[in-house]
Amino acid sequence: MVSSGGSAPILGTFTTGAQVQEYIRQNGVEIVDLRFVDLLGTVQHFSIPSAELSDSMFDWGTGFDGSSIRGFQTIDESDMLVVPDPRAAFMDPTLKHKTMAIMCDIRDPMNGEWYSRDPRFIARKAEDYLRSTSIADISYWGPEIEFFIFDSARFDYTANAGYHFIDSEEGIWNSGQEGANLAYRPRHKEGYFPLPPVDSQQDLRTDIILSMMSAGLRIDKHHHEVATAGQAEIGLHYDSLVAQADSVQIYKYLVRQVTKAAGKVATFMPKPLFNDNGTGMHTHQSLWKDGNTLFYDPNGYAEASEMMMYYIGGLLRHAPAILGFAAPTTNSYKRLVPGFEAPTNLAYSRRNRSAAARIPMYESGQPETKRIEFRCPDPTTNAYLAFSAMLMAGLDGIQNRIHPGEPADTDIYDLSPKEAAGIPQVPGSLDAALDALEEDHEFLLKGDVFTEDVIRTWLDFKRARDVDGMRIRPHPYEYFLYFDQ
């Protein structure tokens, strides 16, 4: 039994529902917040008095209306169940009342089966499929999540108006403001990474990571990022696939909660500012078996094993389809353009940040650190789906011995158009990425990890809401270009 004394429980403290309930009884927990993820990756929740958390909830679940959740059920089949996972319970450090939050899985009450459109279930199936192949028994994931912290954000779109207005005291555009002006602002693309007072958000980022650590997230580092106005990065230490996807959701929640408490607002949009660097989620990944890495070979290129090279080959071969999940918004493709350190080239290299797949070389000669950094994803992704899609692509590369070809060890951005012509590019739009996913998803269906229903539901939703939603609306810049013509 987990001790009731000491500090608040963090992710991974409990393994059974009985342990959760014992902690609640002995520590005066008032509220249990049951959380789950919709198909797009947004966490939904409802709260119950702690005394209502029962054994049956951990075994069978408790009901909710699935027809009100994006990408889930139709209204005629709306009844669904959430089943709390004791391994994903933690004390929420940001709420007024003593609240234990628990990430949940989704079950169909009619047949008792896990719900095929539940992103967390898809991620669990990806881990099961990995083990079934005997290639590896675990995959590790380390996302570098970036975000912006602004002082205000106003936006609206109506029949006769459309605008956004973002402001940040750190923005270089405020260098000429009248009145109290303390200067010390990073210039465009010079935010990596000055000391305070130029970096004005050091203490706020520290508040964020202390909140994360109290919930059980393992943090590598935090710092200001390249863009001028409040761009930040907090790195998560590597973890297994489902556990890390849970951590991504908690990470984003705590960033928003702590910045709101400080009177600011955070966004994970890939490109909220014109003509400055965007926000990515470079995703480090590796395969292990029997406690040993499978990606290290001291004699290989960049100390990479043959298996690692095939994994990279699968990632690059299927990258356009992967981005249908891993760069899932129209705004994502305003980030994936040349000139802003974004990975637009589907090539691989050691150390080279102009390639989509990078083999970091910080720790040469250390097998346990050998990994791939896939640089195309951004944090608007549903991490459960994106990590699963990347894993399935890498495994397909291993199974089919897809070699990625020669590395790109020069700065691809500096190549002439003729030299760069043979290097495949990332899709130029969400529409193109969704087309690629529609055409290339057989690798995702292995082991029933993804299903045709999930992929079709995703494609239909993203095309109707995102692609068509943007396509049919006049854009403010079109007025700038065309109003007088």
Q: Mean of the pLDDT values across residues 419-435?
A: 88
Active-site residue, 282 included: yes
Q: Mean of the pLDDT values across residues 223-229?
A: 84
Question: Helix (H, G, I), strand (E, B), or coil: what is residue 442?
Answer: helix
Contact 401, 290 (CB under 8 A): no
Per-residue b or e along 233-265, where b marks 16 or more CB atoms closer than 10 Å to that residue's CB: bbbbebbbbbbbbbbbbbbbbbbbbbbeeeebb
Exactly one of 35, 107, 185, 282 is catalytic; which is it?
282
pTM of this prediction? Answer: 0.94
Q: Mean of the pLDDT values across residues 235-260?
A: 96
Query: What residues have CB less than 8 Å from 74, skipping those under 6 apart?
Result: 67
Q: Tell me what pLDDT residue 437 has.
A: 98
| Alpha-carbon gap, residue 438 to 81, rounded angstroms | 30
Q: How confident is the model at residue 194 (pLDDT cuts 50, 70, 90)?
A: confident
| Alpha-carbon gap, residue 168 to 148, rounded angstroms | 10
Question: Residue 112 carries which side chain, given as an amino acid letter?
Answer: G
Q: Tell me what pLDDT residue 345 has.
A: 86
pLDDT above 50: residue 6: no
Q: Tell me what pLDDT residue 414 has.
A: 67
Query: What residues have CB less than 8 Å from 246, skipping those under 6 apart?
Result: 11, 88, 103, 120
Exactly one of 38, 373, 431, 466 is catalytic; which is it?
373
Q: Tell me what pLDDT residue 154 has.
A: 93
| Alpha-carbon gap, residue 295 to 356, rounded angstroms | 18
Active-site residue, 373 included: yes
Instruction: Tell me what the pLDDT averaged over the chain comes to.
Output: 91
pLDDT above 90: residue 47: yes
CA contacts within 13 A on the Cβ side of 355: 23
| Alpha-carbon gap, residue 234 to 231, rounded angstroms | 10
Q: H or E stretch including 132? A: helix 119-133
pLDDT above 50: residue 2: no
Active-site residue, 375 included: yes
Active-site residue, 439 included: no
Q: Tell me what pLDDT residue 1 has.
A: 33
Q: How confident is the model at residue 185 (pLDDT cuts 50, 70, 90)?
A: confident
Share of the chain above pLDDT 90, in %: 71
Task: Give residue-wise pLDDT tens across range 472-484.
Answer: 999 999 889 998 8
- Burial bucket for residue 365 (CB in 10 Å: 0-12, 13-18, 19+): exposed
Residues forming CATH 3.10.20.70 domain(s) in the chain? 17-114
Q: Tell me what pLDDT residue 3 has.
A: 38
Does the domain spanning 17-114 belong to CATH 1.10.10.10? no
Contact 413, 341 (CB under 8 A): no
Query: What residues have CB less than 8 Å from 124, skipping those under 6 apart?
Result: 105, 114, 242
Exactly one of 188, 353, 368, 440 is catalytic; which is it?
353
Exactly one of 105, 225, 246, 303 is catalytic; which is it?
225
Calculate the CA dihedral of residues 200, 203, 209, 211 and round it to 10 degrees. Answer: -130
Q: How confident is the model at residue 135 (pLDDT cuts 50, 70, 90)?
A: very high
Task: Give residue-wise pLDDT tens across range 328-362.
Answer: 999 999 999 876 667 888 999 886 667 899 998 87
Q: Give me the CATH topology for the region 138-482.
A: Creatine Kinase; Chain A, domain 2 (3.30.590)
Active-site residue, 233 included: yes
Task: Give residue-wise pLDDT tens across range 396-405.
Answer: 999 999 999 9
Q: How confident is the model at residue 4 (pLDDT cuts 50, 70, 90)?
A: very low
Q: Mean of the pLDDT values across residues 126-140?
A: 98
Exactly one of 38, 105, 146, 199 is catalytic; which is it?
146
Residues forming CATH 3.30.590.10 domain(s) in the chain? 138-482
pLDDT above 50: residue 67: yes
Active-site residue, 170 included: no
Listed ranges 138-147, 274-283, 406-415; the one with the highest mean pLDDT: 138-147
pLDDT above 90: residue 72: no
Nearest to 216 by CA among 189, 237, 191: 237
Query: What residues have CB less than 8 Å from 434, skipping those under 6 apart?
Result: 324, 459, 462, 463, 467
Q: How confident is the model at residue 375 (pLDDT cuts 50, 70, 90)?
A: very high
Active-site residue, 55 included: no
Task: Give residue-wise pLDDT tens across range 93-120.
Answer: 999 999 999 999 999 988 989 999 999 9
Task: Give residue-wise pLDDT tens across range 299-323.
Answer: 999 999 999 999 999 999 999 999 9
Exactly one of 92, 108, 233, 303 is catalytic; which is it?
233
Exactly one of 25, 52, 55, 65 is catalytic; which is it?
65
